[in-house]
Amino acid sequence: MIRKLAFISLFLFTAGSYVHAEEFTEGVEYKRVTDQPTEVADKIEVLEFFWYGCPHCYKFEPILKNWQKTKSSNVEFVRVPAVFRPEWKVHARAYYALQSMGLIEKYHSIIFDAIHKDKKDLNNEDEIIKFLVSKGVNETEFKAAYSAFSVDGQVRKAIKKVKGYGIEGVPAMGVNGKYLISGKSAGSYEKMLRIVDYLVKKEAAAAAKK
């Protein structure tokens, strides 16, 4: 009898958890995109499309950082600097140059703070180089990285991803080359990441069936 009651309790708990699990609707909170190439085979790729000059991306950043600490272990998180205008390439090149130098995690938030908190104008190559050098980046090494052919290739790839996902604004999130979540469709930054988690589970379940 005790075993039977325990089983019923477990069933009710599981069923209740299922019923109350948050559900989202394709075409409402997120949309399906034409399949895009991903760069990881054994994990679910989650992209953040951002621009250093975007105030919404700046507000999203601390929320995203907290999510990164708790994200599922099967997620590969990748930032993609969006380039909607030619002048945005300055920030994209700076991002990939710092990444190639192994410095992006140190300077990512510093650049955001400089633009939005300290109101610095970092919209051209000279200004962003001068700023980063003032913060300890080696000028010669950064200039070489900034102008490198490999960085040029990464910027072109980022532009292609933005077009492929049909990004119309930032911040936006892409999941596994299949889904796009925007701030507009989600309604809040926190909800954007809950939708990401929902789609990660959806992709993991689909992969498990194969």
How remote is the C-alpha of 112 from its chain's centroid?
15
Backbone angles phi and psi of 137, in degrees to 5: -80, 135
Q: How far apart are CA 159 and CA 151, in angstroms?
A: 12
**pLDDT, tens digit (0-9, with 9 covering 90-100), for 10-59:** 433 443 433 346 899 999 999 999 999 999 889 999 999 999 999 999 99
CB 45 within 8 A of CB 79: no
Q: What are the DSSP calls for 14-66, one per residue?
A: HHHHHHHS----BTTTBEE-S----S-SSSEEEEEEE-TT-HHHHHHHHHHHH
**pLDDT, tens digit (0-9, with 9 covering 90-100), for 144-154:** 999 999 999 99
Of 171, 201, 134, 179, nearest in space to 36 by CA: 179
Q: Is the pTM of this model over 0.85?
A: yes
CB 107 within 8 A of CB 98: yes
Task: State the pLDDT at residue 12.
Answer: 39
Q: How far apart are CA 30 and CA 26, in angstroms?
A: 5
**pLDDT, tens digit (0-9, with 9 covering 90-100), for 127-145:** 999 999 999 999 999 999 9
**pLDDT, tens digit (0-9, with 9 covering 90-100), for 150-170:** 999 999 999 999 999 999 999
Least confident of 5-14, 31-40, 179-188: 5-14
Domain segments of the chain: what residues? 24-209
User: So what's the architecture of 24-209 in CATH?
Assistant: 3-Layer(aba) Sandwich (3.40)
Indicate if the pLDDT at residue 171 is higher than 50.
yes
Burial class of residue 27 (count of CB atoms within 10 Å of its CB; 0-12, 13-18, 19+):
exposed
Indicate if the pLDDT at residue 2 is higher than 50.
no
